[in-house]
Every structure is written in C-alpha cells, then in structure tokens.
Structure 1
C-alpha cells in the first residue's frame, strides 16, 4: 500500500515551516521554528476533510497530553489551535529522529538500555493509569528520544478511560495483547502492561515477539500467534533468563496472570538491574495520596499542578516529591504540589477512577494514528506554555499552600538541611570513634587494607579458623572467564567450593582441588565466590570477585 502524500503545511502564527517529519492515519507532523521563544517545535496537523469524530479525538488528545506532559517521560505540549484553513494543530517539543522503532532496526538495544527505557516509560504509563487513562498503543515508534537521551512517550490518539468497553481502533497488532486483538473486554491497565513488555522484548530481539524472520508476518498470521503461541525465546545469550521470565509473565495470554500494574512490572525490572549489580533506574510516578477534596476549588483553569514521586530503591525513604507542572506556572519549590480540587476523582461501578469530564481520544470512536517516523523534541516544561485552545472546564485553580495555623503542612527547606546535616555529622562521628576504638584495642594496632570483597568472620581465640583465599582475580578469555586464587594456609585434604552469581542469588556450588577455574562469560559482568573447605567440614568465609564482561 503506497503512502499518501502529506498535505501542504498550514501557516501557524509565530512559527516558520522548516520540513516534513512524518504522517499518521489522520494527521501529518511538520518541523517548524517558533519565533518567540525561538526554538524548533514539532506541529501535528489534522488533515482536511476528517469527520467530527476525528476532530473531537484530536482535541481530546491535545487536552490529555497537556495534562500529562509534566512527566519527564511524556512528550511536552506547548500549545494548540486552529489554522486559517480550519485545520487543527498541536504544538509539541521536537525530538530529533529516529524513534526507537527505527533505532532498533539498525541494532538491537543492550540489556542495560532496554531495562532503563522500560522503567522510565513504565513510570509514564503508571502515571496515566493513576489518572484513570489507558494508552492502548505502546510500541517502539511511539517512544522518542530527547537530545539528552531521555525516552518520552507520545501519540495518545486512541487513549481511553479505564473500563471503557468500546473496542480500540487503529492499534498496532504486533504489540497488542490477545484481548485487544479480538476486541474483547474493557480497557484495563493490563493492556498496557502487555504492550510495554512486548516493546521491551522488541528492543532486545530486534523484532516484535510474534513476528517470524523470513516467515508470514501478515496481520492475520501475527494475531494467530498472539492468541495461540507461547512467547518465543529471543535467542540472545546475554539476556538473563530472569529477564525473559519477567517479560513472559507480563505477556501472559490471560490478563489475570500478568503483573497487576505497570509499577509491579517496573519493579521487577529494577530487581533485575540490582541482580546485575547495576544501580536501579528511578521510577517517576504520579503521587497519589488522598488529595480528593472537592471543597477547595478555584477559577484559574490554567494553573494545574501534580506531584511526581520518584521511587528510588537505593534510598532508605525510597520516595521523594517533585512538584511538576501539567499546565500553567511551576509551583514554588518549598510548597508541596497538590492536584487541583476540581479534579476530584469519581469512580465507576467497577471501582475505577474517571478523573476527567472531557472526552478522551479513544472515546470518540475515531482513531488518530501517530506518524510513522517522527513526532517531536523534549525539554523541561516552562512557565506559561500551555494550549490556549478549547475550554478547560475540568481544571481548577491551584490550592493555596496549607496554613500551618490551620493544621496544614508547610516545609522549611532550611530546617530540612539542618536536620540532614546533624544526622550526617552524627554518622561521621560514630565512624571516627569506632576507628579510634579499633586502633586502641584491636590486635596489631594498625588498620590494613581488606583482602577481599567477601564477607569475613572474626579470628576469635579458640575457633578452628580457616583462612579465606587471597588474590582472587578473573581474566576474560573470549566467551569464558578464568579465575585464579591462592590458599594462604594450605592443609592436607583442602579443596575449594565455588559458585557463580545468578539473578536469583548465588548459583550452584561446585568443588575443585585446583586453585583456578574457567567459567562461561555472563552478561555485563561475571562474578565468582570461592571458599576453602577443610577436611572435617570447616570452611573459610567466601571471597567474591567480579569481572566486567561486556
């Protein structure tokens, strides 16, 4: 099927046309240069002659993206309007091509990069779900990369409310779950769980889960595989088995067997990062306390703020609040941001939230397919950049900061800094006192360097102590790693027990009498633990060493 020619770009106030970027089902995307402020922007333009349903869907998409665009992994919206020839347009940040779909055709992504993207986009999708919205069209070509290499989600053309029973139209079959392909069931968060997992799978495999190399990849053939075929292995030796298992769970045929939420799926990805000794990627989600207080409403429909919570598994408190703008000005940094009172959520019969009174793109019956090649560019939202188009009846003013005298909450940045300083000083003092005590009372009177990264036990008097191995090191040799070590206090009958690290922890325990062993190379790094086993059953503490194996 030949591609249709793009329409002539419209005249947009305060913007100069530069080039054509891409096309979708009912819209074209162009690159313009905005005059004030001067920057490149992507402008999505609805084609002439579309039905009223598509116009309603386009307006709903603009309003939804504007509400959500404060999220760091959702493309930002700068404005919207209607050109002189009555074509509607949406002004978005410009993300230079290519999108992820084009990038993976050149080369599949690394395990590290695929995990990061899955978690970052997962935060955006979880935020949509907490607002009562299902995206329904997550795929690599709908994920763009900012100039700072941050992935951002775009194309909300068929998004709809959770619980909507209208079948989705215009979705992408290779990444759609069975219930979406057959048009059965209501829109649910598990639809996006599946599609996000299928997208991550595609980044790793270089192809969608159910497309076959040199095989029949027609829409009917792919749907049949989606409905009946188990998720195939991707055939990459560097992808941990646990990673494939997590993706398989998220792409279960039965929605009830998938992760119940995107945040559960994202946390499983974070666990894989931790097992690979990587710092888990932060997960940014909409903060969702019981803020629904309809008594605090206002008239300023352009000042909408939401609190984004970052889930950092390496922090003790694991959360932090970052007030970010959806529409209107950025709030003062010393005031907690609350969702507007006019967005007090209602619930349907199934207990799902329906926070917006305005229609959503997928509610109008029309589908607005995104452009095939590129859509937009990314930077942090600025004050005052909001769509000046269409009524904003569903939004209210930002509530004032709570009055401390009335029992509200108001943070003092100075107080927080002082408390953190005192805690840090106490920790440092405790460490210094401990070192001085060890120097005064410890054996030998000096503190020497540790001989191992592994755990150790005290050499107490009367204990049959077995010295741990020393000099453990590894050397990469093609697709294998050779580890060598020394026994500092060899005894007759000594042997060595060793195990490789696995995703689930320490792997199978093996034994050898030699002071070296060669093992298969693992993804990213290969780690080995070794201990001395002495005749009679006593053992030394384990010594552990890792080798970078990209």
Structure 2
C-alpha cells in the first residue's frame, strides 16, 4: 500500500508550492526561493526512516550530487541543511519538464532525439565515473527534463564509489522470491529497478562496475525507442522474476520500428550484453558508438560532455579512422548566366581566369581600355570616384562585361579627356608593380646579410632556428634540466582478483609521488606515496595503468605498464 506523503517543512527563505513526487525514503516538494527568486525542488528525508544508514545515505547523496553539479546534464544541488523539525533536506535545481518515463509512456522518442539523449546521458555518467562514482539506478524515471528540454540525471540515492564504500540498498533474487514482491511493476521496495538492471546486480553480493551503468543506460535508450522495457514481452507475464530470468539469458525483445537501423539495435544489444566483458568498457565508448550511428543517419554528432575528453581521445589508437569527426559538405559553385550578346565594336579585354569547379573564386578587376571620345561633347562622361557595383543590364551600352559585377578603379571626378598615353600607362602598371616586388625582395636579402655579418663581427652566437621539434631554441637545454624523470612500471604480482605493479624512477627526491590511473578510463587519477600499486582485476583479462612521477607542481611524461 502506498504511504501517505509528508507535509513540507517550514524553510527560511522559501515558500512551499506543492508536492512534486515521493520515494521510498523521501518526498520532493516544489518551493519558491525568495532571494534570488526562482523555483527549486527540495528533497526532504522522512523522519520515521531516520536510521543511521539512511541518514548516511542521504548525506552521501547530497555530497555526490554537489561533486557533479557543474555538469550540464546532471541536476544541480544548491544547498543542504536540517529543517526546524529535524528533517534533513537539500535544495536542487527544479526541472519543469517531464521525466523520460513520462515521455516514453506518452509516445516513443524519435531516433534522432533518443540518440542525442543517449550521448548526453553517457557524458554525465562518464563524468560520475571519472569522479569515482557509480550511479547504480539509471532508468527513465531518474532522468528529468529542464527548461531547455535537456535531460538532467538525478537520484543518486543508491550510488556508491567504485569500491562500494558508501551505504547501498539492493534486493536479491532470493529476497524477491521470499517477499513476493515480483509484482510486475519492476520496482523493488528499496531501490533495485529490475527492468533496467544488469544480471550482476541480482547476486546475493552484487559487485557493480562502470559497465553495469552502461547496461542500464543502453536499456534506458532501448526503452525510449520501444515504448516499453527491453525484456518486457507484450501479452506475457512481466513480473520482476520473469524479467530477471530474461535479463540473465540476454533475451532482448526487438524494438519493432522500421526507422531504427540495425546498427543502432546492435549498439544497444552490445551495451546490454549478459557478460560484462562483452559490453562497452566505458560510457564514453558507448557514446561514441551512438555518435557513429548519428553520422550514419546524416545527423550532426552530439558532443560528449566529459572533462578532459580531448586528451583521452588523443591517447587512443585511430581504429575508427575518423568516423567520429563531423564532416562538412563541399561548397557547390553556381555558374553565372551567359552574358548578353556584345556590341559589334567591343573593346579588347583581359581574359578571365579559368573557372575551378571545386572552389569559390574571387575575380580580378577587369582592365578596360580607354576609348576615343565621340565627336559630340556629351561622349565624355564623368566617372564616379568610388567602387561601382553594376547589376545586370544597368550599363549604358551592352558589352561582354555587362553581366558580371565589375570592380572599377577610381578616377578623378569630372570629365576625363582622352589622351593617347592613357592606354599605355594602364598596361604598364602591372610591370611597375612587379619591379617593386623585386626591389623589396632584394632589399630584404641585403638587410639579412648585413645582420648576419654584424653578428659574426661581434662574436655573438647566431640564434638557433626554431621549429616544432625545437620551439625554444637555445633555451631548450635549460628546460631539459627541469624535467622530472619518467617512471619504470613493472608487474610485481598477479592473482585472481588483483594485479600489483612496482614503480620506480631515477634520481628520486624526497616528496616525489606517483600519479596513476587505469588505462581503460574506468577510474579516476590516484596518487601513491609508495613504490607499489595494487589494481583490482575481478573481471580478468589484461590490466594496464598509466603512471607519472609528480615532483612538486611538475609531472613527468606518462608511462604505461600492462600485465602482458
């Protein structure tokens, strides 16, 4: 039976506006903050559920969300405190739009919208993983929509760090069978959302890792497209135990839409693979697979919002051959219409350069030879002392140049008398220009020679040429002396659950430390004071770490060590 909702607490500086939703341990209310004036969502913990573990879980959720609040697709937390009646609460960003659960139940999302949403959520989840946080409950109901229509991931209530040190609440298959909670809602009493959960979460002692969140995200995208959960079969029994059996067998129900390409269905199936090793190793890799589908369908690739993603991409091998790059179409050149037939006595003109079909051209100004004046005094027309843009047909008499935009050289105002030397002067202008260029080049060579001779006579060394390999010239020797020695990484021991690496470096100094991280990007950066590092390896396979020596504010080049 559904419990009664609590009453909103009196909070200084806030006015209660109503109830937004209820959960197992808390209610969420809509408030208006007075200064600055805005609507906010306030999550309030129930007083009757204030056990020690529950309180610790609530505090942990507030702290976790505060760590991730800068991400554009994670709900922002503004404040946390305890109300006057003793109920802990925290104040969050109010997302006015519906959750993804409400959206897909009304109508499945378009392929473009589902892809964009999946990439954005993958960036949010990868950011949490980089901070050492597993969400553990990714599903459409936990993704809200903000005022801009963007997805906003929320509800880190059963999150944990990568070592599982924070309080967790899960339901096992044995407990589901004993309590009879396989009701068909797919939602257990204390937080395990069965329809979107990976099979490893059904163990008596679950050990999730980043690939578990990848499974739940892929299941969420599948749900948005199909309008139902991935392992639900219409017209059949879809209780929790039914779904758990299908999840463990990998029996995904087809989406059933003709506009969903086979490549997208394959990406989602890999993300929901039964064996963890068969899934994408990280949320970023899943996002890139969705980007490839976007490009295949002609959509712009959605950005993956993850800190330091550019550096992470540079470290990878180029197996994708640039398929993730945004491609720009070449500009098509449109040919001008044929000009009006020229008059019989057209003056000679300089031939235009040949048209290159693959690029846009800038035409050079046309040299127009002066014509002798007609007997009538009106033939000598004044020339406007400005650049003239003449549209088609606007010329006083038809000519071969009448259909082009002509940039005419400026001329003195007033009538221009005809002079026999005018035409030769115009044809000689380019020659004078070429002579000026030659003179400038000769002068530059002379100056360079004088400088070289002066340096040689003074006995000062000539400056070293700079290049990409030697950007600093002679200063590079000084920089090399300040470099931190690179580490040596060796495998010291391997057992079934972990790998131990031995770290060392030359010319060690007091205070030197080692910065390291897993090469697959599944964890954040760790710092070790000692000469050994132990890395968890419960999934088996090759384990690689990237290590740097840190000396004060400087770090060495990165060195990778692997078990094989």
Residue of structure 2 in register with 1:116 after alignment: 116
Q: Deviations 1:398-457 (Å, cap 9, x if unpaired)?
A: xxxx9xxx99xxxxxxxxxxxxxxxxxxxxxxxxxxxxxxxxxxxxxxxxxxxxxxxxxx
1:221 CA displacement: 1.1
Q: Within the alignment, does 1:283 sit opposite 2:304 as a pair? A: yes
- How far off its partner does 1:235 sit? 0.7
Aligned residues of 2:8 and 2:16 also touching (Cα < 8 A): yes
Shift of 1:228: 1.6
Separation in 1 of the partners of 2:275 and 2:250? 13
CA distance in 1, matches of 2:300, 2:327: 11
TM-score, normalised with respect to structure 1: 0.53
2:5 corresponds in structure 1 to 6
Change (3 A) 1:355 1:137: farther
Q: CA deviation at 1:201?
A: 0.1
Structure with higher strand content: 1
Match of 2:488 in 1: none
8 Å Cα contact 1:133-1:160 kept in structure 2: yes
Q: CA deviation at 1:251?
A: 0.4
| Partner in structure 2 of residue 189 of structure 1 | 210
Report what 1:219 is aligned to: 240
Residues 84-163 of structure 1 mapped to structure 2, 5 A cutoff = 84-163=84-163
Tell me what 1:498 maps to.
none
Task: Sort the Cα spacing of 1:250 and 1:81 in 2 relative to 1 into closer, same or farther, 3 A.
Answer: same
Given the two structures, how large is their TM-score scaled by the length of structure 2?
Answer: 0.52
Report the alpha carbon displacement of residue 218 of structure 1 after superposing the two structures with TM.
1.2
CA distance in 1, matches of 2:168, 2:55: 19
1:175–1:195 contact (8 Å) kept in structure 2:
yes
Superposition pairs of residues 14-413 of structure 1, within 5 angstroms? 14-49=13-48, 50-164=50-164, 168-169=169-170, 170-183=191-204, 185-287=206-308, 313-314=325-326, 353=523
| Distance of 2:78 and 2:164 partners within structure 1 | 29
CA contact (8 A) 2:288 2:324 kept: no
Deviations 1:291-327 (A, max 9, x none): 9xxxxxxxxxxxxxxxxxxx983289xxxxxxxxxxx
Residues 234-259 of structure 1: per-residue CA shift (max 9 Å, x gap): 11111001100010011000000000
Provide the residue aligned with 2:379 in structure 1: none
1:225, CA displacement in angstroms?
A: 1.1
Deviation at 1:352, TM superposition (A): 6.9
How far is 1:133 from its partner? 1.1
Q: RCO greater where, 1 or 2, for CA within 8 Å and sep 6 or more?
A: 1
For residues 179-222 of structure 1, give each alpha carbon's deviation from its aligned partner in whole angstroms, at most 9, with x where no partner exists.
01234552210001100000000000000101122321111111
CA contact (8 A) 1:205 1:236 kept: yes
Whether contact under 8 Å (2:97, 2:146) holds in the other structure is no
4+ aligned runs moved over 6 Å, structure 1: 288-291, 344-348, 354-357
After superposition, what is the alpha-carbon deviation per residue over 1:372-397, rounded to whole angstroms, capped at 9, x for unaligned?
A: xxxxxxxxxxxxxxxxxxxxxxxxxx
SS of 2:305's equivalent? strand
Cα distance in 2 for residues equivalent to 1:110 and 1:289: 29
Inter-partner Cα distance in structure 1 for 2:224 and 2:69? 24
Mapped to 2, the partners of 1:229 and 1:285 lie a distance apart of: 30
1:286 deviation in Å? Answer: 2.0
- Is the contact made by 1:160 and 1:187 (CA closer than 8 Å) also made in structure 2? no
Q: Distance in 2 between matches of 1:200 and 1:290?
A: 27
Task: Decide whether the 8 Å contact of 2:250 with 2:273 is kept in 1.
Answer: no
Q: Where does structure 2 lack aligned partners over 5 or more consecutive residues?
A: 171-190, 313-322, 329-513, 528-552, 556-564
C-alpha distance in 1, partners of 2:326/2:204? 41
1:423-438 alignment runs, 5 A limit: none
Query: Are the aligned partners of 1:198 and 1:208 in contact in 2 as well (CA < 8 Å)?
Result: yes
| Cross-structure match for 1:389 | none
Which has the greater radius of gyration? 2
Matches of 1:346 and 1:354 in 2, distance apart?
Answer: 9
- Give the 3 Å change call, closer, same or farther, for CA 229–58 of structure 1 in structure 2: same
Q: Aligned equivalents of 2:111 and 2:44: distance in 1?
A: 36
Q: For residue 357 of structure 2, what is the aligned residue in structure 1?
A: none
